Amino acid sequence: MSGELSPIDKAKFVAAKRAADMVEDGMRVGLGTGSTAAWLVRCLGEMVREDGLRFSGVPTSARTAQLAREVGIEVLSLDEARWLDLTIDGADEFDRDLNLIKGGGGALLQEKIVAAASDQMVVIADKAKEVESLGAFPLPIEVVPFGWQTTQALVEETLISMDVMGRTSTLRMSHSSPYIADEGNHVLDLHLVRIGNPRQLALILNQIPGVVDNGLFIDICDTVVIGYGDGRVEVR
Ligand code: 5RP
């Protein structure tokens, strides 16, 4: 399946493959979104088809649901599964405390709900996602479309009093129109450069009317599986 891969894809693939081995018969597993999570879904599909692995997957986006069905994974909604043994997902950044920025792929809301419903969250990432402090990657927040410009102004005003270096935000676009996430919301990307206190920022952003949730995952990730371009894997 992995064929001739670029170093970055190899790193994503080996991390996904190692995490796929954590899935056991009978488990209910949250399936993340993004290019690394897509490798995971393909690996798990192969294990279902070739090794007879039996598990149920709860996808975190319509994209992942489609891929999971295509590769032969039994798909459940979160309401059908209710509680999950494990969620495996990618990340845009992780720090030494395993706090994350997620949502680069525009699926942070379902990803956070599914991860919070799981006994364990395992992040799969290439080494380049590891950072000293979160924030170089723009922080996505989901906002309801109604009055989004007012929400954006409130968010930027709030950032003035926070321990961050940048304060601007942009509306995420897709084919010249505002991006619409699976739950019908828009996404604002906050250009913060460095987030001094991610825990505090996560709480404060979610108090702003119009903000549905933000891409800071604090104390949610239990384990990170790091892939390297030469095929090595490290589990922390
Ligand atoms: C999607 C996400 C992804 O997990 C994150 O963007 C990482 O993506 P990739 O594996 O493609 O680098 O949070 O909302």
138 DSSP 8-state letter: P
List pLDDT tens digits, range 93-119.
999 999 999 999 999 999 999 999 999
Q: Which pLDDT belongs to residue 83? A: 97
What strands lie across the sheet with 74-75, from one edge to the other?
A: 74-75, 56-59, 28-31, 86-89, 121-126, 223-227, 233-235
Ligand 1 mean position, distance from CA 208 (Å):
25
SS3 30: strand
Nearest alpha carbon, ligand 1 atom 6: 104
Active site residues: 111
Please give the annotated binding residues for substrate, written as ranges: 33-36, 89-92, 102-105, 129
Q: Which pLDDT belongs to residue 161? A: 85
- Write out residues in the chain with pLDDT < 50, as ranges: none
| Nearest atom of ligand 1 to the alpha carbon of 125 | 10
The ipTM value here is 0.98
Q: pTM for the complete prediction?
A: 0.96
CA dihedral 125, 127, 132, 135 (to 10 degrees): -50
Ligand 1 mean position, distance from CA 234 (Å):
19
Nearest alpha carbon, ligand 1 atom 10: 36
Whole-Å CA distances, 179 to 102, 103, 105, 166, 187: 16, 12, 11, 23, 7
| Nearest atom of ligand 1 to the alpha carbon of 140 | 14
Ligand 1 binding pocket, CB closer than 6 Å? 32-37, 89-92, 102-108, 111
Which of 124, 117, 126, 119 is CA-nearest to residue 19? Answer: 124
Q: Which pLDDT belongs to residue 162? A: 86
Q: Which pLDDT belongs to residue 2? A: 66
Helices (H) and strands (E) in the chain, counts: 7, 16
Q: How many CB atoms lie within 10 A of CB 32?
A: 31
Task: Name the residue of 13, 35, 94, 101 to mutate for ligand 1: max ligand atoms within 8 A of Cβ.
Answer: 35
Ligand 1 mean position, distance from CA 190 (Å):
16
